[in-house]
Amino acid sequence: MRRALFHLTAVLNSSKQKDARELKSTIKFLTKGSKPSRTLSKIIQKGISSDNNDEKLVFKSKPSRQEQEYINTILKVLNSTLPRKENNVQRVETHYQLFFNQLQKVLEQFGNDDGKKRPTKQIQNDILPITLNEVNYKEMNGEDLYNRLMLLQLLGKLTLMDTTKIILATNFDHFAKTIKNLSIFPIEHQLNLSLLLYYKLKVSKDSSNDSLITSLWQKYYSEWIDNFDKLHHSIRRILWRCLYMTDPNKINNIIQIKLKHWDINNLVTLYQSLFAHVYKLNLPEVIETTSQNNNNNNNTHRSQELFIKVIDLLSPFKSAYKNHMIKIVKLSIQSNLDGISQNNIHKIGNQYKFTTSLNLILQDIYNNSKILDTTLKQELEDIFTIIDRQENDLKTQLSLKFV
């Protein structure tokens, strides 16, 4: 479809090609005459459909010879850019549907009365604003969100961030339609979309969606597990939530038997996802086999262990300390993000920031809780000792870096 739109605008802006004259004549005919406009309107609104027996175009009245010639001109452009690699009915239908929407924009631009030719760059910006302008997903309705998802995919512009924002947007409600069209997406997008859709449907707790939930689980469960290592860490967090909502007893078995490897990074991601429930899960311990003694790796490892220890401690008391736990999880996620592609000095500073910030959150629990459990109080004091030791060690490393 992208090739069709750019080809159409390029040809329309050319004054030397025979195709340009043909297309301009077609568009002028279709946009300025009352009867031809009616013909185009029917094409755009209904698309091209055929009867399984006689394959006749659906019109109340048969188009004239001239009308049919102009219609064929538009369809020639469209048909020349159909998906070539897959003979997939669903993909073709989506291609047509979205092309008609974008074609309307072309007609609105070239159907004006002033006859002035607009710059190609401006034309392309107007035709494809969806790829060039930022949008507020919160203000879009369900239909617009669905159309943006499909158009970004057909244009090859779909990102994980767009996928997540669209599916998790409050107004997104085209679940069945999206699931039906999942086959037009590459496998990595299918995995992301299917998990996000499953999660959104599960948290809605709408019994009318049960059949969609079941179909997603049956088709993609094995794919989610088999491709676990390829999933982005944010999608892994969604996966753990989906598994917990479906059958928490599966989690331990999946980790020990089905996943290819299990390390502390994966365990941290799980703790970030299910921080309020980990005390109920019999999670396997992580045995590190790495022989690396790099200080930065050790610092990160110690911060991760500290995070896990704190969540283990607070998880049974989630009703009292849930807000504190949310802050700790956000702190862990931000620390992981900040630690990516940083030099040594910044990584040490990042770990120091995490440790001191965690200390402040735990001190708030320790000092302000009127019903602090005696055992919990002792455990927190032990953690403060660990934190104090880590802070001193990190400060020493920072000092040595500047010597």
* Contact indicator for 154, 1 with CB cutoff of 8 Å: yes
Specify the pLDDT at position 49. 45
Specify the pLDDT at position 196. 98
pLDDT, mean over the chain: 76
Compare 151 and 338 and report the one with higher pLDDT: 151
Quote the distance between the C-alpha of residue 394 and its chain's center: 37
Q: What count of other Cβ atoms lies within 10 Å of the Cβ of residue 255?
A: 17
Name the band, by pLDDT with cuts 50, 70 and 90, for residue 125: very low
**φ/ψ of residue 128, rounded to 5:** -120, 50
385-399 tens-digit pLDDT: 999 999 999 888 887
The residue type at 196: L
* Final residue in a domain of this structure, among 102, 130, 158: 130
* Contact indicator for 310, 328 with CB cutoff of 8 Å: yes
d(CA 207, CA 162): 28
Domain interval for residue 385: 290-403
Residue 401 lies in a domain: yes
98-109 tens-digit pLDDT: 555 555 544 454
Candidate from 225-229, 246-250, 317-321 with smallest mean pLDDT? 317-321
* Contact indicator for 241, 274 with CB cutoff of 8 Å: yes
Residue 12 lies in a domain: yes
Residue 245 lies in a domain: no
* Contact indicator for 8, 73 with CB cutoff of 8 Å: no
The length of the chain in residues reads 403
**φ/ψ of residue 50, rounded to 5:** -135, 155
pTM of the entire predicted model: 0.70
Specify the pLDDT at position 123. 38
DSSP state of 47: -
Compare 211 and 32 and report the one with higher pLDDT: 211
Residue 157 lies in a domain: no
Specify the pLDDT at position 282. 83
d(CA 355, CA 335): 10
* Contact indicator for 235, 168 with CB cutoff of 8 Å: no
Residue 366 lies in a domain: yes
Specify the pLDDT at position 318. 85
271-289 tens-digit pLDDT: 999 999 999 998 877 655 4
* Final residue in a domain of this structure, among 109, 130, 151: 130
Specify the pLDDT at position 146. 92
Q: Over 80: is that where the pLDDT of 156 sits?
A: yes
Specify the pLDDT at position 40. 53
What is the average per-residue pLDDT within 44-66?
A: 50
Residue 255 lies in a domain: no
Share of the chain above pLDDT 70, in %: 61
Tokens of 251: 């989690």
Name the band, by pLDDT with cuts 50, 70 and 90, for residue 137: confident
Q: How many domains does the chain have?
A: 2
Specify the pLDDT at position 341. 57
d(CA 366, CA 130): 51
Question: Comparing C-alpha atoms, which of 290, 244, 293, 246 is closest to residue 265?
Answer: 290
* Final residue in a domain of this structure, among 130, 159, 177: 130
What is the average per-residue pLDDT within 308-318?
A: 93
Residue 341 lies in a domain: yes
Give the CATH number for residue 389.
Answer: 1.20.1440
What is the average per-residue pLDDT within 291-315?
A: 81
Residue 389 lies in a domain: yes
Question: Comparing C-alpha atoms, which of 128, 178, 180 is closest to residue 157?
Answer: 128
